[in-house]
Structure 1
């Protein structure tokens, strides 16, 4: 401020009024101060803004997953790129951290709030009996709960917008496709059991199985890793009555399962059909290319970040349905062995 004041020929208080958009200086003085500040490369201090109650110009995102499972997943990279695209256009930064579990995530949220590090949060991977929405309500932090099954995921009065994902309908579309191909022994290789979308997919599979009289249908939970995806696939294919179709909760496990089938001499799709959740370059370049549920993760991130901006401006929270993933049928699914 001293440098700007000296070069512009005004007082430091005039510089403060001009840079903060406050009355007290003429239009000509304000213009001169802003021009000099730009010439000197001045930018507002995030720390100073936070201490003065003007906000940090930063949005927080914490992923509560083991780091080893994130390095091979393309979905979150796409999600973050979409989020960053929207935030950058608004001049907002993204503060990102990976932790081991949801308790550690809550601790990070509390610390960021206490230190005025963020103006709002993007919260992913909703859980059964999730402690985070109540914490957000307590702290009064604006947030978007990404991928929640319904509006009731956020406490009444909390500044939390819900971006809903209909995982039940997506699973129903997969089952419909496989049943049309004559599959009756379908196994779902699911993600972590505590995640709300895992439970929604499992429940939907059971509902569809009951409605279609499919007694040999099951879900097995994993940590999303290729190692567990491969281990479950080996166990299933070695069983007395192996499934004719496998539905994997991410692309990494699906490709690992495809490799296990090839190693055991099980042809895909003649002997086993494979479906992946979340289409990616892995699904498109696998041999054979994988039938997959397609959802643009970058677009999903842009929607989530776009919903947070009105909350930061004081708007009321909303309940917004996300676009339903499309099932892209490729060569990894075919008629069930022995089906008419």
Structure 2
């Protein structure tokens, strides 16, 4: 693992004393222009930046800071109540200590990796929370090399060397499909998130397994980007088919609401003609007519568990993977028996 580049490393590279490096990089007199240039070049080559935490020691006790990157797309689409509740849960636990949460917008995974390197080498953060983890996530290896404490919000299959915090999504999908099968549904579809996402892979695999176990007829899985637009398009494709599904399970609430609108557009009644189940029981699910059946969990408590895991890692140098609950199915007005065949 990489160590943090220090002022002594810069001094060794430039062939000067640590004091000369301090003078040069703080733009103080006492070194020649040539020496200043050599020191600046050495610092740039090593990727060194001032240790903000060390500078703050003179001002009082050190305050731990946890870094967390958020994609620009998530902000542009609007951080929903579930995301905000998860962030709130993290902050709630951090407030129990002299800790704070540093949020930053990123536009790519490469930018996020560079941001972690900058934060860690400058002492800006003491650890980080990694979200939106994909299979073979390109952020994991370079971030691990930094030696920075990190907790990954994903199943351990995708967390690499980092401790993982996750909920049992496979069990939740299995429960939803079994419930629909008990109601009499045999043609059930799953509108999933991007295939690269670890959570989407786990949910789709669980859906496939339970569909095979129950010998369901013509079950289908369609991948989307989790947007309302693609959720609507996938619903339209399914419901326009000759042998359309009698029930659909969505990977988020936004797509389920879009699917409800598409069903009405096609003249289908919910749940008389088609049943719908949303992932994430949000306010959206409860203001639609009919109210959406949904897989419900507590994002605030989940965020709190993420923070506790990271604080344990900071305190002891290690933390175990931990599972935090299973989303529970809340049946409402969008699920019922399938339509009778003529």
TM range (shorter): 0.7 to 0.9
Instruction: Confirm or deny: 8 A CA contact 1:69 1:223 kept in the other structure.
Output: no
The structure 1 segments of at least 4 consecutive aligned residues displaced by more than 4 Å after TM superposition are: none
Aligned residues: 290
Query: Which residue of structure 2 lines up, in the alignment, with residue 297 of structure 1?
Result: 299
1:89 equivalent among 78, 96, 114: 96
Other structure's SS at 1:173 match = helix
Residue of structure 1 in register with 2:243 after alignment: 241
* Corresponding residue for residue 325 of structure 2: 323
Distance 1:114 1:236, change over 3 A: same
User: How far apart are the structure 2 equivalents of 1:252 and 1:224?
Assistant: 8
Please give the TM-score of this superposition, normalised by the length of structure 2: 0.79
Aligned to 1:228: 230
Structure 1 residue 75: deviation in Å?
1.9
TM-score by length of 1: 0.79
Q: Is the 8 A contact 1:50 1:56 kept in 2?
A: no
Conservation of the 8 A alpha-carbon contact between 1:230 and 1:257: yes
- What is residue 107 of structure 1 aligned with on the other side? 114
1: distance between equivalents of 2:157 and 2:319? 10
- Post-superposition shift, 1:106? 1.5
SS at match of 2:95: helix
1:65 to partner: Cα distance: 6.1
What is the CA-CA distance between 1:181 and the residue it aligns to?
A: 1.0
Alpha-carbon distance between aligned partners in 1 of 2:209 and 2:137, rounded to the nearest angstrom: 24
Go from structure 1 to structure 2 and tell me whether the alpha carbon gap of 1:49 and 1:260 turns closer, same or farther (over 3 Å shift). Answer: same
Would you say 1:168 and 2:170 are equivalent positions? yes
Structure 2 residue matching 1:246: 3-state secondary structure: strand
Alpha-carbon distance change, 50 to 275 in structure 1, aligned in 2, over 3 angstroms = farther
Mapped contact 1:185–1:214 kept (Cα < 8 A)? yes
Q: How far apart, in 2, do the equivalents of 1:64 and 1:129 lie?
A: 18
In structure 2, C-alpha distance between the alignment counterparts of 1:74 and 1:102, rounded to whole Å:
24
CA contact (8 A) 1:291 1:327 kept: yes
Distance change (3 Å), C-alpha of 1:175 and 1:69: farther
C-alpha RMSD of the superposition: 2.3
CA contact (8 A) 1:142 1:312 kept: yes
2:86 alignment partner, one of 79, 90, 94: 79
SS of residue matched to 1:66:
helix
Find the aligned partners of 1:182 and 1:66 in 2 and give their Cα distance. 39
SS of residue paired to 2:114: helix
Instruction: Give the counterpart of 2:159 among 153, 159, 169.
Output: 153
Superposition deviation, residue 312 in structure 1: 1.7
Q: Take 1:104 and 1:273, find their aligned partners in 2: how far apart are those partners?
A: 41
User: Any gaps of 5 or more consecutive residues in structure 2?
Assistant: 1-51
Deviation at 1:268, TM superposition (A): 0.5
Q: Structure 1: how far apart are the matches of 2:341 and 2:64? A: 59
Q: Is the 8 A contact 1:61 1:121 kept in 2?
A: yes
Q: Residues 186 and 244 of structure 1 are in contact (CA less than 8 Å); yes or no, is this contact kept in structure 2?
A: yes
- Contact 1:182–1:339 (Cα < 8 Å) also in 2: no
Q: Give the distance between the partners of 1:192 and 1:227, measured in 2 at CA.
A: 14
Unaligned runs of 5+ in 1: 1-44
Return the alpha-carbon distance in structure 1 between the equivalents of residues 308 and 79 of structure 2.
27
| Secondary structure of 1:118 counterpart | coil
Partner of 1:123: 130
- 1:268 match: 270
Q: Is the 8 A contact 1:168 1:204 kept in 2?
A: yes
Residues 291/316 of structure 1: CA separation in 2 closer, same or farther (3 Å cut): same
Deviation at 1:68, TM superposition (A): 5.8
Does the 8 A contact of 2:272 with 2:337 survive in 1?
Answer: yes
* Residue in 2 that maps onto 1:280: 282
Q: Secondary structure of the equivalent of 1:177?
A: helix
